[in-house]
Structure 1
């Protein structure tokens, strides 16, 4: 698989990769590693994550996970809350009044890396204003030498000016925030690329190129007196331009005078970054694991492990640390795709003991890429080999003719196998490229369809420049796709869109009968549209004249009625009394939340009905309309008052379907995100069988207005449903506790019952909805959340707490993290359990915590409900 298939361009979408620190690879979230649970902590660190442990000088126990970087501190560190994973806008988003943080790209042992915009570059109209900003995280700040460590990392990286080493720009501080800036790259980390080629390895030429880049980077660092000391695929970034770059020299140390270079000595005098004792067990040499002084040979071992993975798609010792591999006498399997000479060079660099291993990167690279010094001619075959062997023998009298012939034949066979393998690989790449092109052509049109097809055609043309027939067919297919879309748009009346799609079709093949036919049909459709528009304008003019005449006639009629009424009032005193009664009713109809329908209005309407039944019947519709409008107006700010007005109005006019059918949403008046302000910003729906729905708040953070239950659904809520329907058995325990030990089917049945009772569509939230409403945190995660922690006399998470316990987030949600996990469905319909539970360790009990769920009952999973607003 080519790296082009793995490299992804950085965008605002979370699915895209960019410059990632170790420990933030997709698929390695805490809790997803099977077979790594313990009694007190069921969530293991993510791949390449830095782990702090007390320094003992003895061999470390590497049983936690052989891919993790382990850092031993020189002094104890107090337990701390994990570094925040909040979006940058909830932290300080502008650093030094210059760097505007956009989003977090990854996190590692020292801190988190963000994509940022350099406002100075924006001011200078730089086309690429992006940089990467590395912030010291809260955990690492507690290390006494953390500030110095980051400064040394910046300084060393600045001194390592090499095209295959990530460029570091500056190191600075903003208040209590320490940071460094470096180049922003687009591509993917090497460990992610290797995972996509497990068991097979990368394309041969691509593997050669990456090996060459990273070996030159290490060789240059060694020449500057710097040993990386934590070299691994997670610290290598492969850019979209097919350049491999090494980064994270945060634990590298200046080589002592006994090494390859003494360096300046400045770092050794004031601070030695090696006091952090950081390493990754699966890539650390035998000597590093035994605590010996660093040597270039340590990086040679790590480089050899990475090289093996490039060509084989797996670790040479199956992730076993070097010391354990030595005790078990493990040997790496031969990689058949390498020549005998290349394999011997790699095998020597993979030696577990330093005295048997290649000592420098340059020596390893030279041995790997060196060519045979013996001349041979493939066309001559064995005869040429014999002649050459004879000549060499006559010149030196030292080479055995048979041995020389066998050596030459062996090398010829190896070279022929390499050439054959290269041809097979090319044919495979051509076939895969053509399959990818045909697959892309069959996909539905979208904003990126044309660019993707153009790219794939270009890639195939590079791989198969002579296959013009496939290219022509692909362009014809692309034209047909756009023609079909244009035809569908034309048939649906979307003529502008049809014209745009027709233009796109012409870009793929401008000479086509189909293209001309569709252009003709589109022109006819446009003419027909112009004709219809003219007819509509004429009809609208005639209708306006008719309405104007009707208005005049209405005015005449009103005038006649007014004069008739004046004549009647002049002769009938009783009529004046009726009018007064009507005015009294209208006065009482003045709309406010305190309108007295049951008392004042009712008595005045009854008085009018007694005075004149006919007048009452005549005015009744207007009264009903006024009350209906008032109910709707009051509902916008006080639905409870509107509900009272409606109830009294229905009693006053029992036959009015208009009043009875008015819907009052008890939550619609609330502003999204107001739920944290107090009880007046809560709402509940009335249920037809009596009682109310769970307490709701209106949440912000979603693309539509959404009401969500403030608390987890409680035992009391669920038992009320069981009692009313008889469809389930009541749960035991305190009514205020969150409901658990129920299935997802029972939870859905409860939401369906709420929907039937309230008239609104209650449901389990989607994953995006749950994350949006739960992630609105004022000052990070609630430190008092009910998650597992045991530190001295402090212990939490042993039991559930009431659903009303805890601090609200900005949306007013309580207990959204910890206590019980909460169900949500992802975009593919997979049931997830969100937010962690009382059994999850506090440092991994976060809003972002999520696991797949079977939907079966358990004691750590509950749910809350949501519904859309009118």
Structure 2
């Protein structure tokens, strides 16, 4: 749906309080006189909700029961919001009094004053005035208003509930083309009569536009939303009542739609019937052209740009002249009243009168000659002739009016007949009515052609339905009937082509059925022959089956033996028992072995993973024996056995069986690890600080560094952070796990001593008499373990860690730090350069 239109339909689940999208056809409300209004004003009126529900007569629609019914005045039950305007929202409601009285149509429309409008000091008066104005406008082309009332803080009025569609939606569906000629005439006539009547009652609509016109299912156009209508001043078509002026001034709630407002309205001038004439002309242009005459440009801007509406070719010269004058941007050049616009648009040609006048003139001349011949007084002759001319003109006028009325009634009867269901007398009746209309209006070939086209369409629709129902003979008859009304039509040719295709498809189906029956007979004969062959084959197959079953039992026994040997435990005998039974299966059936091999491998893989959860060493043995039996198994080779994963965090202080080491690809092992919690994560942490021996082994294997001097059991110091990271990368490559320097939080978490407390004999600086510590480094294995099993985590060498911002820190103090400041919480920033009191531990994450 275009964003230029006022109406926006939303789904049932959407709230009617959602923010509307600005558009060109919105009603703009303001508390001051309107000087100019640009499209897309933020206070626009947007109708939301659903199209009105079509309800059958006598039945209340069965909606899902809401959790809470909205009942007004204990009488009107709100069912669904139909739309929202500048003053309030309109709902479909059931009048419970009508239901009680068994009224066949219990529906009404209820308009509630919205919260924004209620805040205006004159809001209540505005709705009451709208109700009263609308009640006073009793016209078949104006929406009927029943009553105005309030229930607590809810102010509302009730009006008739209509079924159909708003005109702006219909115009959008005919964009760039316009409505059907007859339908456009009908709508123009209905709404112009509604406005003319309102003007006669002293009321100007002031916001006339397609969105305020409803086209009912009975093909009647009705005007609504007189909520901003203003009384015509004493200089207008009617003085109206002055009661509203003294008590309430509707001008205090000025409102307009910029694309349909006149130049004078946009400049804030007093209202005039000519304002509604301009809006009516814009709507009429859209009815016949399918677009706005000034492309939705407000009148004041269109005047500044010197815009001119494009000529509508489907209108006669006379009709276009009348419409163009009503579309004039300045009021002094525009048609002043709706009646004048309508009369100019629908007026008939004066040619019959001219012809009659010519006849009369000939009579006059003959009379003059006669009078002169008989010497009659000239004055008496002139008066006599004028009387005769007036009398003949009146006769001609009456005759033309009567003819026009007869033509219209005849055309209405013709259209009604075409709309009736097809019957045996339908064609005869329509033909008769066409003949009657041709006799009354021989020059109106467009209506005759249009009627014949409609008649053809009726038969085409019936033929299409018959074809869809498979009644091809009936469809052919109806198609022939359609051709009698108009034998040259794309639709006729299209339906004929579809019917031909349907007939061809029918013949094809019949031929297919014949061939199918023939094939079925041949199939039965062949089946009898095959039955004899089957019995013979069955005898031989029985013998073969018994032999296969015996072989299969032998194979199944061999498979079962293998599966029995696959029972998983830490001592599973793969080299002996399982290998023997696998070899036996291969001898009995190589094919079955190949089929079962993947299952055997999967069972061994699951066993390796199961055993690894409590005994990684046993799992390594099972994996090695399994690969010896199935050396090409990529899945077994890919199984990773984490030597630390089975350990519980914090178990490292319980003894050697709770230590672990990763196997390296060069045949070596990682430093001794314990398992602890580093914050919320489970970590494997080196039990000791990385030693000189650990680091020298890395240097020897890679050649990327020079070995450190000194005792290999001492913590590795005098190396840079870059060398420490290189060591962790080497461990990662060798083990397949991701080793790294710990974070500050991880170091603090694994080093914290909750139960045992800090090691009182830690290698920190102290001198007390002959007692002195911290003179030199001690071995990494020296000291008392903490709760997680870590040794020498405080003192000796301070250990590297990174904080959350990537800053390198040295944790836990060193041998040079006084004992009282040599704590788990001790930390200093570090440059990463080598020194003799800084070392490191390594950590890796566990799954």
Range class of TM-score, shorter chain: 0.3 to 0.5
Larger Rg: 2
Work out which structure has the larger RCO, using CA pairs closer than 8 Å and 6 or more positions apart in sequence: 1
